[in-house]
Amino acid sequence: MEAATPRLSNLQVRVLTAAVGIPVLLALIYIGGWPFAVVAGIIAFLAALEFFHGWLLPTMPISAALAQAPAFVVIAAIVAGAHADGRLVVAAVVLAAMLAAAGYSGLNVFGPRKPYRVLSWSLLYIGVLFSCIVLLRGVEGGRDWVYLGILATFAVDTGAYAVGRTIGKHKLAPRISPGKTREGAVGGYIAGVAAVLVLNELFETGVAAITMLPFALVMPVLAQAGDLFESWMKRRMGIKDSSGLVPGHGGFLDRVDSVLFVIPALYLFLQLRVL
């Protein structure tokens, strides 16, 4: 009788996924151009699939949401296409406003209104916010700025987790995310501020620390707000993870929630203060 094949623990799966995924991510950022933009579009497609599934079909298999695939393709095209023409982001905002008008009106002329509301918010939350990572990669020194934004966001998550697990006692937002603590939030904030300033020097961006300081002070707040916002959405949806598409890590929305708030702020900051 053959011995049963030992199954990997959830932690082992998480580590294995990270060991494969992080180098691939860093390599794509390094390459930039269309390869990076296309992969960003694919991630947006999958994140939109999770978004629609959670808001419209949370009790059904995620494959049921594929009926809305044309909408996901539009969102993916906006994100990837931002590499060629940033005006697609403006078009996405206009389209979202039109869909919101139909979704929030008191009329049912166009059929059930909730799908229009969900599509409107997915265009803004995923299409517009995530396209900023493609726009950021396209600016002068974009590779290092994307690295800085993502690594600093990781630092916030890591600092919050480490401090929260070690000395965390007071709940930060128990109704939204019971595992988060105020002590962890402070640890994540300090780690985030330090990470921005250190990475700015490490990558030799040429931007003075005093100039980067306003972004450094705001970034950890945005990272944790993005995390809490996605946790709030999942509570409203009635689900634990956005999906199981990322082995050991939940879904794509679970992985990019903080980045969705940090990268647009970094792009806007650079446009206003640096570039």
Rounded distance, CA 244 to CA 110, Å?
A: 33
3-class DSSP state of 178: strand
Q: What is the pLDDT of residue 135?
A: 97
Q: What is the pLDDT of residue 1?
A: 42
Q: What is the pLDDT of residue 5?
A: 52
Q: What is the pLDDT of residue 82?
A: 97
DSSP summary character for residue 243: -
Rounded distance, CA 145 to CA 11, Å?
A: 30
* pLDDT beneath 70: ranges in the chain: 1-11, 107-111, 248
Kindly report the pTM of this predicted structure.
Answer: 0.91
* CA torsion, ordered 228, 247, 120, 84, to nearest 10 deg: 110
Q: Which residues contact 157 (CB under 8 A, 6 or more apart)?
A: 188, 223, 227, 258
